Structure 1
Amino acid sequence: MAQQSAAAGRTAEPAGPRSPESGGLPDISDIDLSENEFWARPLTERHADFARLRSHPPQFFAEPDMGPLPPGPGYYALVNHADVAEAGREPGVFASQPSAISIPDMPQDFAEYFGSLINLDDPRHARLRRVVSRGFTPRMLARLQEDVERHAARIVDNLLGTGPCDFVSQVAARLPLVVICEMMGIPEDRHEEVLANSNVVLAGNDADYLGSDAETAMARLLEAGENLSRLLAELAAQRRAEPTSDLTSALVNANVDGESMTDQEVGSFFILLAVAGNETTRNAISHGLRLLTEYPEQRELWWSDFEGHAPAAVEEIVRYASPVVWMRRTLTRDYEMNGHTFREGDKAVLYYASANRDAAVFDDPDTFDIARKPNPHLGFGGPGPHFCLGAHLARREITVMFRELHRRVPGIRAAAPPRRLASNFVNGIKSLPCEF
């Protein structure tokens, strides 16, 4: 979608004082996080700009143009680790409603349709999370371990049969897709439908998925959401009549302390699960191969003791790649943070990708280091009630996929630069040629 140009550090809007330029601080007047051009630049340049922004108090930006959505008053960019973490720990102040996944305000039903519990605050958020968390308990995840390993082995079987190929479509996208679909009980002949529609929902501004104009993009987005919701509605009706052991059965027949989910809530949760659980994990795996290719000494270190280095290596991939770039919050009251007074109603965008490169927290933050400890990254959303529900599953999938590659295709590497998704929300890779 087209986005409007805006200068950083605006002073005309009424949402609070702007940080003055002062001697010794790097100039940031050329940085505009609302421009498509910023997000099309190389990752190294973007992170250099975020480093400059971290030298200043929260900066104000005009909102991106989202076509049919009405223009909003603008937003503050939270780019320091301490600020992003504090906002996460204060959900009563930094609220997820009315929307956490769009900087402009979306209609409430639209926000809930595509965001599910991500766009909700307590007590409703807590109620839904209690119900859906039944599918993500340690016991449930332990039962999935064998399934994840079996699917990873089959994916590598196919990879070896195919030979050099697109790593994203043949490997990285396969594992989270099949795991999520099997968790929900989606038939195998519908898996590609789930993948195609989830790609559209998280397409950002990418014309390959959304077309070249805002009206077409909105129509395709709604169609993709409706397709996923309709698929789950059909399955939910079957599971009410004939429950099985899958997550859909657990959700539609759940009664936790007298609480259950409506059809709309189940459908919205599936959209969230299909999109967040598929896209973010596949991008972490894709970035993982890219990083191990660009940093062969890190590959050698990991491969020398896979199990010993795996936990830290997975955390470093998530930190360095930051598959989810940001989430939005809205101030429920006036609040002081980092020398700045936020006002009730202000919008704050939490840039996890910037927080994860903050030199105040991470030594040599632009260095990919699989032995990094400690590693308090915010790649799964940071502290607070919105910490990623599927973080443990994502870690497991990433670990198992690279374990299988290490065991059977240890020389696999990226054969060319990745084709990146045109998005300011997801640090996505559309394709990545691999060779071995």
Structure 2
Amino acid sequence: MRADAATLPDLTDLAFWAAPESARLAAFAHLRSLDRPVFFAEPRVPLLRPGGGFHALVRHADVLEASRLTAVFSSEPAAVSPEPPPWLPMVFGRPLVNMDDPRHARLRRIVSRAFAPRRLEALDVEIAEIVDEIVTRLERRGSGDFVADAARELPIHVICSMLGIPRERRGFVLSRIDVMTEYSGVRGEMHRLATARLLLGNLRAIVDLRRFVVGLGRQRRRDPGDDILSALVTADVDGERLSLRELGSFFDLLLVAGNETVRNAASHGLVLLSEHPGERERLAADPDALMGTAIEEIVRMCSPIVQFRRTLTRDHELRGHPLPAGSKVVLFYGSANRDEAVFDAPDTFDVGRRPNPHVGFGGPGAHLCLGAHLARRELGALFRAVLARLPHLRTAGPAVPLLSSFDHGIVALPYTV
């Protein structure tokens, strides 16, 4: 089917992302039915956004192709959306997610030790203790906001525990993350001033966290402990080690990506289990057999991160459609995860779904999420405890969604036990 401009959604318009989820899913289903990726123009915002536009990759096969062919679909100058201003990496350095090989491979080789199986297994006790505190709090309060009381708390305490950040400093870290994730959506020309204010707040939060982690990094180099931060700053892989600037960039990525993925999936997971009591009962009856597939299905259904972008290094043909060198594409993971060509009954929540080749942790290849296994551990521990100790925990009203085209988050979610 050919594109008809009158029937196409505008993926760069904030109004689209404010629409009900059912309307957005229907729009992406229409885009998947077209015979070629659709181009969307992006307005230029002086000093903040370069402008231009992108082709939307909405089919599962297209997202896989762009993810695997990293020599063609580059993560530089930026993989995040909206694309940050060109001066930002000159000030703060380029994060791992916005790098290509060989720089990307070098840094990933160093920081991947933070997610080695031995270290993740050692975290299980800590995760269990944090989950126990959260579930006890939910039980004691009886009702409240699930995001504030549970989903927001779990990942930040796990990440801070990994890094050896003391509890008395975690409130500061979380407040800075909340500010950073506000600037995570497409905003149009009418929102230029609001965008500028949000970006300035974002920059201040980055500076605050950078100062904090660089100070910790210097301390750990002088007096290393048994935490991952110490391992990173003292790492020597083939004669290489992280600079303090690189450590700061990785810290930003870990805190934002590692936090938001789990927070979003945990919040949407409670919504899904509340809206599908039959699937919840099925999972509760046999969590040992179904918890793994249930977590994958929650991630597929909610797609915690909506999109990443790539820039073409050379001319390429996708589905017979030419994409010139220098053009940009955006990979829409939520759309790929509902692709009718890959998933039977894609809008159905099935805790036992097999196979489930979702791209909720990003597509396959060099940029597959480093923290995916950690996220699975956290979500599995949380929902096991909820099902066992709070069998009547449910949402008590509609979720308040985060208005963003990048972060599929929930701002508030009332619950009752």
Give TM-score, length-normalised by structure 1.
0.91
Aligned partner of 2:398 in structure 1 is 417
Identity level (%): 49
Aligned CA distance change for structure 1 residues 96 and 205 (closer, same or farther; 3 Å): closer
Distance 1:212 1:272 in 2: 26
- Are positions 1:398 and 2:370 aligned together? no
Aligned CA distance change for structure 1 residues 316 and 112 (closer, same or farther; 3 Å): farther
3-state SS of 2:48 partner? coil
- Are positions 1:273 and 2:254 aligned together? yes
**How far apart are 1:38 and its partner, in Å?**
0.3
**How far apart are 1:313 and its partner, in Å?**
0.2
Question: Does the 8 A contact of 1:63 with 1:104 survive in 2?
Answer: no
* 1:356 equivalent among 315, 327, 337: 337
CA offsets 1:319-360 (integer angstroms, 9 cap, x no match): 000000000000000011112111100000000010000000
Aligned runs of 1:1-400 on 2, under 5 Å? 20-21=2-3, 29-56=7-34, 57-64=36-43, 66=45, 68-104=47-83, 106-107=85-86, 109-110=88-89, 113=92, 116-203=95-182, 204-205=184-185, 213-400=194-381
One-letter amino acid matched to 2:39: F
Question: Does the 8 A contact of 2:45 with 2:51 survive in 1?
Answer: no
3-state SS of 1:32 partner? coil
Question: Does the 8 A contact of 1:28 with 1:53 survive in 2?
Answer: no
Question: Does the 8 A contact of 1:81 with 1:356 survive in 2?
Answer: yes
Distance 1:386 1:55 in 2: 27
Distance 1:376 1:172 in 2: 25
Aligned partner of 1:426 in structure 2 is 407
Question: Does the 8 A contact of 2:185 with 2:406 survive in 1?
Answer: no
Distance 2:192 2:255 in 1: 22
Could you tell me which runs of 5 or more consecutive residues in structure 1 were left unpaired when the two chains were aligned.
1-18
Question: Does the 8 A contact of 1:281 with 1:394 survive in 2?
Answer: yes
Distance 2:386 2:378 in 1: 12
Q: CA RMSD in A?
A: 1.9
User: How many residue pairs end up in the alignment?
Assistant: 412
3-state SS of 1:165 partner? strand
One-letter amino acid matched to 1:96: S
3-state SS of 2:7 partner? coil
Question: Does the 8 A contact of 1:330 with 1:345 survive in 2?
Answer: yes
**How far apart are 1:102 and its partner, in Å?**
2.7
**How far apart are 1:29 and its partner, in Å?**
3.2
Distance 2:208 2:162 in 1: 19
3-state SS of 1:287 partner? helix
3-state SS of 1:213 partner? helix
Question: Does the 8 A contact of 2:306 with 2:406 survive in 1?
Answer: yes
**How far apart are 1:244 and its partner, in Å?**
0.2
**How far apart are 1:410 and its partner, in Å?**
1.1
Question: Does the 8 A contact of 1:359 with 1:365 survive in 2?
Answer: yes
Aligned CA distance change for structure 1 residues 198 and 65 (closer, same or farther; 3 Å): farther
Question: Does the 8 A contact of 1:323 with 1:379 survive in 2?
Answer: yes
Distance 1:415 1:65 in 2: 42
Give TM-score, length-normalised by structure 2.
0.95
Distance 2:49 2:351 in 1: 44
